[in-house]
Amino acid sequence: MSVSVRAVQGPKELHTFIHLPARIHARHANWMPPLYMDERIYFNPKKNKAFSYCDTVLYLAYQNGVPRGRIMGIIHHPYNADHGEKTARFMHLDCYDDEAVCHALLEAVELWARQKGMNRVVGPFGFSDKDPQGLLVQGFDKPPIMVTMCNFPYLPRFVESSGYSKQIDCMDYLIDIQNDIPEAYPKICERVQRNNQFRLLEFRKTKELKPYIVPVFELINRTYEGLYGFSPLDEEEMHELADRYLPILDPRFLKCVVDEAGHLIAFMLGMPNMTKGIQRAKGRLFPIGFLFILYAAKTTRQLDLLLGAIDETYRGRGLDILMGWKMIESARAAGIQTFETNLVLETNTRMRAEYERTGAKLYKVFRIYQKEMK
């Protein structure tokens, strides 16, 4: 059947774009829907500031008038200007098991990008590295988490047959905190805590986190500069992200370190795994979906590590072990047995070595693709 690709126009087609993956993945046991309340905010230019400095397009692919796939194109002008690039991104690629549909969607984004003066396409990659990135290429039998992609094995093959090659892989590790933690960690932690130049902060209530929201993102801006695809956040975007995630964060799993003056110099953030709850709620918080999600967070045996950073001045002084050990203590007290890490670029050999030193096992691999256009 022939494939036609059309740009999304109006709320009805946007609704189709957002909800099409649920139909594509209806028999995909591991697939996790997005939180649809967040999706509507994400795709609303009035509520997502990234639309103000990025060119975007949403496409739906049809066969015989039936939607069969979707894709988003993004041109991040500030990032391109900072890095001297003419790069477009594709994101939110999904389709049924039909190579022609995938090719038509990618070709539509490529044509759009050429018309905008771009000479390269990468993806999946969103507005920033805070969005899920890459296609799953290893670990298809593993359950997803909120901040990573979930796709069928055929999708990477379709992207590669459309002329895309590997740009970089992102690694995801699983850590057994009951058995795989080095015996030296508690002693190192105790020694680091005796240093009066910094102080560990732990929290019990969500409201206690609010004073550290902006400092956390400011530290990310300083320490993530130079990482692949990173774009700094302004204060408005910091608060937008905080509003999205603060209600579901567990204060026990944020560890901060401040210096003698009380300035934030390091943090580590984890979140109880909510996959089963979101799957049961089918991505809808109401009328009772939020109860499924809360129950999953309270009964899970896995903590998902989301973000972390250490000020460059204080690296190599054991703060990573200090925060890591305190996170392990809090997790064990909550009945947690495993950590699933945030994504680590394959080129970040130092972080990968640190995870592997704890006995972490490579769990999943996500691949970002690229294609040069003539």
329, 103 in Cβ contact below 8 A? no
Read off the pLDDT of residues 128-179 as tens digits, 9 standing for 90 and up. 988 999 999 999 999 999 889 999 999 999 999 999 999 999 999 999 999 8
**pTM of the predicted protein model:** 0.93
Residues near 119 by beta carbon (within 8 Å), at least 6 away in sequence: 86, 87, 372, 373
> Please, what are the domains in the chain?
4-170 (3.40.630.30), 178-336 (3.40.630.30)
8, 17 in Cβ contact below 8 A? yes
Among 53-57, 177-181, 274-278, 320-324, name the one with the lowest average pLDDT: 177-181
Read off the pLDDT of residues 86-135 as tens digits, 9 standing for 90 and up. 999 999 999 999 999 999 999 999 999 999 999 999 999 999 988 999 99
Residues near 261 by beta carbon (within 8 Å), at least 6 away in sequence: none
